[in-house]
Amino acid sequence: MQCEQNYDFSKIFTTTTSNTTNLYKNLPEKTIGEKIYKLRMLHGYSRREFAKVCSIGYTSVCKYELNYSLPHPKNLNKICSAFNISMSYFL
């Protein structure tokens, strides 16, 4: 089984350009939690708003961002669907 190529901000958000993007583009992306945080901040959502948009629990979003737990693949899929991004971004 081949591993998919890792994707970072520049590959996922190539068409996004704004002051918000410039402000948050240098946030780290080493963990899934950091990627979720970065995605949330780029769209200007609070944790509650992000959870609602993605149809996942607020507590789950908190745990993911703090790296207390990894998202269930079903929740990662919800996040990807909500923001129309590839699951590869999180792998």
Q: What is the pLDDT of residues 11-30, one digit of tens each?
A: 555 545 556 556 777 777 88
The helix (run of H) or strand (run of E) holding residue 73 is: helix 73-83
Residue 59 placed within a domain = yes
pLDDT band at 85 (very low <50, low <70, confident <90, very high): very high
Number of domains in the chain: 1
Determine the pLDDT at residue 26: 75
Against a cut of 0.85, is the pTM above it? Answer: no
Residue 22 placed within a domain = no
Q: Name the 3-class secondary structure at 91.
A: coil
Output the CA angle 14-43-86, nearest 5 degrees: 50
What CATH number corresponds to the domain at position 85?
A: 1.10.260.40
Residue 83 placed within a domain = yes
Q: Does the structure show a pLDDT above 90 at 37?
A: yes
Residue 64 placed within a domain = yes
Residue 15 placed within a domain = no
Q: In terms of residue numbers, what domain contains 44?
A: 30-90
Q: Which amino acid is at 78?
A: K
